[in-house]
Amino acid sequence: MDFENVLFKLEPILSSSSIVQIVQDEELCSRCVSVLDELAVQLRSPANRDIIRESGVLNKLLTLFKDGLQQLVEPDAPTANWLVLAAELTRCIANCVADNDNNRAEFCTIAMESTEIFRVNFPKIFKLTNANTERVSDLQFKSLALIKNFCLDNEIYLRECSHILTIPLVNLLHSRDLEEFDEHALDILVMTTDLLSDFVEFSLSSITPKELLIMASLLAQISPSIKEQLAEEQITNRDTDEGVSEEDSEEADPFLELAQSLAQCIERVVSQNETLDLSSSGSTHELQQLLLQSLGSTESKNAFENKLIMMRRLLFIIGLISANVTNTNVQDQTMCYATLLQPDGLYVKAAALIVLSNSISSRETADQVSSNISLGQIIHVCKEFKDPMQFQGLLDIMKKLLNLTTVYDLTDEDLKLLFAELRICHDQCQLYQDVSPLLDALLSKFAAVCPGSLLLKHFSDPNLKTLIMQRDGIPACILIDKFVVGDRNPAKHILADLWASAFRFQELSKISTPHLFQLLKSLGIYLRSVDGNDTNIVFKQHSSQLVTLLTAVVPMSTNTDSASKSIYNNARFVAGMTLNLLNSEQLTDDEFRLRDLAKQLLAPIES
């Protein structure tokens, strides 16, 4: 049947003054629904979308559409005829606005001409619930398709619709019967979450913990239904035995699509909404419970497409919620202890460590956490961590719980395992730098609270040695201080290794202020301890680097900030020790330069 013939058959619709007139006549309604079905098929052709606008038919259809929306003001539930006719009319308009900017503009002019009608009444479609469940679902699905086609690749339309529809669509998710997922219900959920993932960027402030709970609850319920991906040999055997086609084996999993869209929505809200209030401990605890449940379900699957991305995203979301300034995390401590003591689930344990770490806000809360789970237990919980994102909570909580008391509770076995875990984290940091600051901070804290005897005992551990030698130079400086001040008499090669690490910076401009301060402090301590007859490792192996270092510090003499003043004072102490040691006339070129720099640093500062 050609398009002109379909347009001719539209006459009963075009001559009707309102939708009510059509739906009250059973026979007329049936004929109109039939011809609208034919029209929707014809409108799959891009050329026909222009013809329907140029012929004025689109104008009439949009007028009827607007009239239909006004009927939703009535207190009575829509009739079955109204639902069927509205669904087919919406389907036609959805096809009209697909990839057609002129038709979209006409939709704005007519259907959205009265913003109030569209803003108030269109969302009511997604609130419909009555005996005509299938017809309601059909109308809702086609309404979603209309909005999807209308907003596609157009930020202005997307922004406008997001303000109108974000909350109604979240509530639509909440209204679904989640006990039985039929194919059509899944299609609606997937389409809804797909739209929401686009909308939330423009309606962040409207999303509250209530909406987050709705999305997280649905995510927790559908995550166990994600289809597992078979191993390659299993797929081959199954295809041979059962005759499974390539198309069947590659069919998209709606549960996975739904889970990915929901996670994306939640992530956008918690990462971008700076005013999100998570101070209600009850709802926030429920939210974290649901997300941990989803993460556990996801992790328990053998394999599915983008599984790693999904687990990392959920871990990231839990971390963001935990880091929200309004969230104390105290309400989640018991849940975290239970999670950490369960046998399986590396990612859920990683998430629990982040939350537990963020619940520590003082020495008192740190002691309380330590009384419930020891450092040794935490270390053993993480023994199978490989993904760098898993280490965030471990690094942070270890730094917070490590002190002069708890470090003595660690056995040699605990320490050996900890060094192995941190070595894995260090290796992974070559590709994922985000956790590097946490790793460096923990190493510095460990070096600071550990007694020198224990550090010297374990320095031969290849993992610890690699960490000290290849990372930030601050831990190496702290070890030098402890070995020198404590008169530990380490072998010369140990001090040589530590100084090599301390001076291991590519460019002086990139050395951090704490590293520069600590390096100059350690230089002063070491040079003061060196006897004139001893081998001076610094002068012998690092004199040129020391020249560069002191040269960079000289201009700081006029700086007024406290950090610069502290660094400059440390440099002056180094200069004094340098002059004491370089009192011979038989000096190398670098040593002559060092002596000159030392005199310059010790000269009176002109004001």
Which residue is listed with tokens 């670098």? 590
pLDDT for residue 233: 46
pLDDT for residue 525: 93
pLDDT for residue 566: 94
Lowest mean pLDDT among 100-109, 322-331, 477-486: 477-486
Which residues contact residue 72 at a Cβ distance below 8 angstroms, ignoring those fewer than 6 apart? 78, 121, 124, 125
Of 308, 323, 346, which residue is a domain's last?
346
SS3 track for 515-572: HHHHHHHHHHHHHHHCCCCCCCHHHHHHHHHHHHHHHHHHHHHHCCCHHHHHHHHHHH
Q: How does pLDDT run across 35-55, given as a tens digit for each residue? A: 999 999 999 999 999 999 999
Domain assignment of residue 376, yes or no:
no
Q: How does pLDDT run across 371-411, given as a tens digit for each residue? A: 999 999 999 999 999 999 999 999 999 999 999 999 999 99
CB-count exposure of residue 89 (10 Å: 0-12, 13-18, 19+) = buried
Residue 184: half-sphere exposure toward Cβ, Cα within 13 Å: 10
d(CA 191, CA 410): 53
pLDDT band of residue 246 (cuts 50, 70, 90) is very low
d(CA 528, CA 572): 13
Of 346, 377, 410, which residue is a domain's last?
346
pLDDT band of residue 1 (cuts 50, 70, 90) is very low
The share of the chain scoring above pLDDT 70, in percent, equals 93
pLDDT band of residue 444 (cuts 50, 70, 90) is very high
Instruction: Please answer whether residues 291 and 317 qualify as being in contact, where contact means their C-beta atoms are separated by less than 8 angstroms.
Output: yes
Domain assignment of residue 268, yes or no:
yes
Domain assignment of residue 364, yes or no:
no
Domain assignment of residue 2, yes or no:
no
Domain assignment of residue 414, yes or no:
no
pLDDT for residue 384: 95
Domain assignment of residue 64, yes or no:
no
Question: What average pLDDT does the structure give for the chain?
Answer: 89
pLDDT for residue 16: 84
Which residue is listed with tokens 């309601």? 136
pLDDT for residue 180: 62
Q: Which domain holds residue 527?
A: 508-607
**250, pLDDT greater than 70:** no
pLDDT for residue 100: 95
d(CA 602, CA 568): 10
Domain assignment of residue 424, yes or no:
no
Q: Taking residues 229-243, what's their average pLDDT?
A: 54
- How many domains is the chain partitioned into structurally? 2
Of 346, 379, 399, which residue is a domain's last?
346
**244, pLDDT greater than 60:** no
Lowest mean pLDDT among 14-28, 91-105, 236-250: 236-250
Q: How does pLDDT run across 503-516, given as a tens digit for each residue? A: 987 677 778 889 99
Q: How does pLDDT run across 470-484, given as a tens digit for each residue? A: 887 899 999 999 998
Domain assignment of residue 146, yes or no:
no
Which residue is listed with tokens 């070491």? 526
DSSP alpha helices (H): ranges in 273-345? 281-300, 307-323, 333-341
The share of the chain scoring above pLDDT 90, in percent, equals 65
pLDDT for residue 281: 95
CA dihedral for 207, 209, 211, 213, sign (positive or negative): positive
**605, pLDDT greater than 70:** no
